[in-house]
Amino acid sequence: MLKKLIRQMLTAQILSALTVTLCLLIDSIVIGRFLGVKAIAAYGLANPILLIIGAFGSALSAGVQVVCSKSLGRGLQEETNAGYSSAIGLGAAFSIPFTLIIFFLSVPASKILGADTEQLVVDTSAYIRGFILGAPATMGALILVPFMQMAGKTTLLIVSVAAMTITDIVMDLLNVIVFHGGMFGMGLASSLSYYAALLIAGAYFLSKKCFFKFRPGLISKAKIKELVTNSIPAIFSMAASVVMVFGMNRILLARGGSDAVAAFSVISSIGNASNCITTGIGGVSLTLTGIFYNEEDKSGLRTMLKELALQGVMLGCAVGLLLVVIAPPAVGLFITEAGRSRGMAIIGLRLYALGLMPSCLTGLIKNGYQSAGKERYTEVISTVQNAVFPLLFALLLSINVHSRYMTGVWFYFGCAEIATLLLICLFVRKKSGKPAWEDLNVLMLPENFSVKAEEMMEVEIRSVEQVTEASEAAYHFCMSQSGDRSLSYKLSLCVEEMASNVVLHGFTKDNHEHHLSVRLMHKNGRWILRFRDDCRAFDPIHYVPKGDDKMKGMGIRLVMQLADEVRYTYSINLNNLMIMLKDKQ
């Protein structure tokens, strides 16, 4: 069940990662083919401003994933709604003033970014003004992505991305062929495409079917502080990326002129699109680690790490090989004329491919640290990975400027990613005394995390017969741990009633194969019984039987009366029910 879920989430997360990079990639292609190499250089200089929008939106999105996955893992729906409401409020409070400030200060911003000729200043500031108008939509789309994931709305996510892409292509072509709006029109086309995506996604979030409820009264300083605190590691990552782009532009201008900056802009555009696999793996890790960590679910964490690591190696190698093969025609989409810029971009893109696989593994690990409460590790890794190592290697490898295509400097990405992954492995080995790649060592979980294997029972149920077996197993397991017959009987009854309800009413509602996972563990004076299934959403806590038949739902009502506490959430296409009983009954 989990492997299938992880693959579905990864597919959707990779597509959602394209919400920013895809429009930038399309803009870069059209700019190169219709407006020329100098315009690409202006676009490249504007990138740090564009990344700031993506930085804050992605950081807030990451904070949402951490905060709301924790509340979902604990079964706290109202806290999740508070996170949802506060995230929307915070996004609006940042994006609208930022849009106005950058729009009116685009010219001095262009000069600060390195535009050193009148034409570069004009083109860079024009693109910034057009693009910045879409900042509120970009912010809104990025905030809603994790909520679509948690609500299981994969199709909606794909449709939103498709609408954004189509709108951007159409608007870009209209701009250069019909309206002749120049660089301002190119930026505006991207803005309109983000609003198209937001409108489609927003239709669900404004409907009664939406799993999350926006309530202004739930916006609070405490929840905003929690979101911001958990956004800090992602802010470090994005800020480091902004510094890296700014620094690389300066290095390349000094060593290779505008041709080198134009080549770097093309490499970054294609590289950012290919890096959606890294972003996807990191996003899934961020969400699932938060849920499994707060459930103290070692088996879930183990499955997630193995599956995402496997997908990271496979996708990293496959996409890297693809970049090597398609480099000449891909670069040709941006730079049509043969020359130094095109040659540098082709070599640079092929060398960029070396870093994709290690980047996927690093994204998996550092986002896992963030959800596991090790935010400082994430911040350090992000800074080293996205700024320190790339700029260090770029400086060292660009010393030999005699090469026409500056071949050495383009190793910057691969060297930085490999060095970062090796640094993590060495740190884990020194900190824990164990190899990073064995079991869950890389997450460096606390010693008291979860319970010992002999203190926990886990079963998978797919039939009515297995429900009876699981109920009996729960009775004997509780007896072996506590010796309390009354408590053992109550836990056994809870398993029988709730599991039977899922199998009889959830498994038979469609023609799909379904799974039910039951886990029972004892910790801190409480027995925690968790049910997780992939059937349609069903909240037993608020279930009200239809009709006058008092026998309907009797088993559910009995379990609710026996339990000391019950929590239910529906997230990542799974029903999650936690039933807690105290030792003394």
Q: Tell me which H or E stretch contains 485.
A: helix 485-501
* Residue found by looking up tokens 């911001």 in the block: 228
Q: Which of 67, 265, 23, 52 is nearest to 139 (CA)?
A: 52
The C-alpha atoms of residue 431 and residue 187 are separated, in whole angstroms, by: 47
For residue 398, the 8-state DSSP code is: T
Q: Name the burial class of residue 293, with classes exposed (0-12), middle (13-18) and buried (19+) by CB atoms within 10 angstroms of its CB.
A: buried
Our CA dihedral for 133, 134, 138, 144, rounded to 10 degrees, sits at 110
pLDDT in tens, the chain (585 residues): 677 778 877 877 787 666 656 666 777 778 878 888 788 888 878 877 777 777 777 778 777 877 877 777 666 778 888 888 898 888 888 889 999 999 999 999 888 888 888 888 999 999 999 989 988 988 888 888 878 877 777 778 778 888 888 898 899 999 999 999 989 999 899 899 989 988 998 888 888 778 788 888 888 888 888 888 877 777 777 778 778 888 888 888 877 777 788 888 888 888 888 888 888 898 888 878 877 787 777 888 888 889 999 999 999 999 999 999 999 998 888 777 777 888 888 988 999 999 999 999 998 998 888 888 788 888 899 889 988 999 888 888 877 655 666 777 888 888 999 999 999 999 988 888 888 777 778 888 877 776 677 778 888 888 888 888 888 988 888 888 877 888 888 889 888 888 888 888 888 777 778 888 888 888 777 888 888 888 887 878 776 555 555 556 778 888 888 888 888 877 777 888 888 888 765
Pairwise CA distance, residues 476 & 483, whole Å: 9
- Distance, in Å, from the CA atom of 129 to the CA atom of 186, rounded to the nearest integer, reads 10
pLDDT tens, position by position, 229-246: 877 777 777 778 778 888
Query: What CA–CA distance (Å, rounded) separates 571 from 244?
Result: 36
Q: Contact 94/132 with Cβ under 8 angstroms? A: no
Structure tokens at 265: 């802009």
| Cα end-to-end distance, the chain, whole Å | 34
Would you state the structure tokens that stand for residue 572, as one six-digit string?
Answer: 């990542």
Q: Please, are residues 247 and 106 in contact by the beta-carbon 8 Å criterion?
A: no
Here the tokens at position 381 are 């890794």
Proportion of the chain in helix, strand, coil states, percent, rounded to 5:
75, 5, 20
CA 39 to chain CA centroid, nearest Å: 32
Question: Where in the chain is CATH 3.30.565.10?
Answer: 453-582
Q: Which of 175, 154, 391 is nearest to 284 (CA)?
A: 154
Backbone angles phi, psi at 460, to 5 degrees: -110, 135
Cα 443 to Cα 458: distance, rounded to the nearest angstrom: 22
Per-residue pLDDT tens digits for 256-268? 777 788 888 888 8
- Number of H helices and E strands in the chain, helices first, is 19, 5
Distance of alpha carbon 307 from alpha carbon 329, whole angstroms: 33
pTM over 0.75: no
Report the C-alpha gap between 394 and 403 in whole angstroms.
Answer: 14
The answer to whether the CB of 87 falls within 8 A of the CB of 57 is: no
CA 267 to the chain's CA centroid: 23
Region label for 563, one of left (φ > 0), alpha (ψ between -120 and 50) or beta (otherwise): beta
3-state SS string for 206-238: CCCCCCCCCCHHHCCHHHHHHHHHHHHHHHHHH
CA–CA dist 134, 118 (Å, integer):
26
Query: Residue 530 phi/psi, 5° resolution?
Result: -115, 130
Q: Which of 531, 542, 538, 528 is nearest to 467 (CA)?
A: 531
Give the C-alpha separation, 138 to 20, whole Å: 8
Asked whether the beta carbons of 63 and 86 are under 8 A apart, the reply is: no
Written as one letter, the residue type at 409 is V
Return the structure tokens found at 301: 């964490």
With beta carbons less than 8 A apart as the criterion, state whether 359 and 340 touch. no
Query: 11: which residues sit within 8 A by CB, 6+ positions away?
Result: 154, 280
- The beta strand positions in 401-492, using DSSP E, are 456-461
Euclidean distance between CA atoms 443 and 365, whole angstroms = 7
Q: Which CATH superfamily is domain 453-582 in?
A: Histidine kinase-like ATPase, C-terminal domain (3.30.565.10)
